[in-house]
Structures are given as structure tokens and as C-alpha cells.
Amino acid sequence: MTTHSPITSTVEYKGSLRTQALHLQSNNKIITDAPVDNHGKGEAFSPTDLLATSLASCMLTIIGIKAADMHIDVIGTKAEVTKTMAAAPRRVSQINVDIYFSIDLDERAKNILEAAAYTCPVAKSIHPDIVQEVTFYYPAEA
């Protein structure tokens, strides 16, 4: 038997291809707009932008958890996200995530943290037809 979790969020259509999501636990809000190439204003994240961005956010969170377990401070580590769309049907076809570590790490730590990134729940939830291309960078390589 499956038990249901409490409601995570609510989403309201505000008109003009805009939605407002409310995270019930924190009361934080996210606005989305349809992108300019799909009849929208492009004044906020699109829903597919959020999909791609959540992959990077999840990876950085898992890296942060694993780094803390290893007593490594990765504050300031950043990710750049590029989303590629396909047509017929319109969908995300590829997400590129470039992760820029804020500190240099030895090979062992690099291997552990990079492997941890791929275990994030978002990466495991995205359809396998969506290519996930992840590249890691370190200060000494910049």
C-alpha cells in the first residue's frame, strides 16, 4: 500500500502564460513564464528552465552533503545550466551542467564528489531520453 506525502506545493495560473507556485512548507514563491519562443514573455524561468535548473541544484545539494561528510567546504561552488529543446513533440532533449568547484581537490575527493552528483534524485528521475551532460571544473584548471 502506498502512502501519500503531504502536499508539497500549489500552482496557480495567473494569466498571460504565467504561473505562481507556492511551496507550502516555506511559503516561498516561484513565478514561471512561457518562453518567448513559445508565445510567452520570457520574464521568468519557464517550466522547462526549472526542470534543467533543478538538476544542477540537486547535484550541488548532493555534493554539499557528501562534502560535509568529508569535512570539505565547497561553499561558492557554482553550476551553469544549458537547456536544449527539441520539437515534435516540444520537449527538453538535453541538459548541460557545468559545475565549477570553488576549491581544488585531490583526485580521491574529486572522484567521490563527482560520483555523488550523479546520484541526485533529479538525475535519477529525468527520462533517459534526455541527455545529461555534466562537466566538472576546478580552480587549477581555469
The pLDDT, as a whole number, for residue 1 is: 66
Contact residues for 75 (Cβ-Cβ < 8 A; gap 6+)? 102
Please answer whether residues 134 and 122 qualify as being in contact, where contact means their C-beta atoms are separated by less than 8 angstroms: no
The letter for the amino acid at 137 is Y
Residues 41 and 54 in one domain: no
Q: Are 26 and 34 in contact (CB under 8 A)?
A: no
Examine the domain organization and report whether 72 and 20 are in the same domain: no
The grid coordinates of residue 52 equal 534543467
Give the span between the Cα atoms of 27 and 21, in whole angstroms: 10
Per-residue pLDDT of the chain (142 residues; tens, 9 = 90+): 677 889 999 999 999 999 999 999 999 999 999 999 889 999 999 999 999 999 999 999 999 999 999 999 999 999 999 999 999 999 999 999 999 999 999 999 999 999 999 999 999 999 999 999 999 999 987 5
Residue whose grid cell is 513533440: 89
DSSP letter string, 38-102: GTS---S--HHHHHHHHHHHHHHHHHHHHHHHTT---TT-EEEEEEEEETTTTEEEEEEEEEE-S
φ and ψ at 16, to 5 degrees?
55, 35
Domain that holds residue 15: 1-45
Domain tally for the chain?
A: 2
Q: Are residues 39 and 105 in the same domain?
A: no
The residues, any chain, with a CB within 8 Å of residue 129's CB and separated by 6 or more, are: 93
Instruction: Return the pLDDT at 141.
Output: 73
Looking at the fold, whether 131 and 64 belong to one and the same domain comes out as yes
CATH of the domain at 89: 3.30.300.20
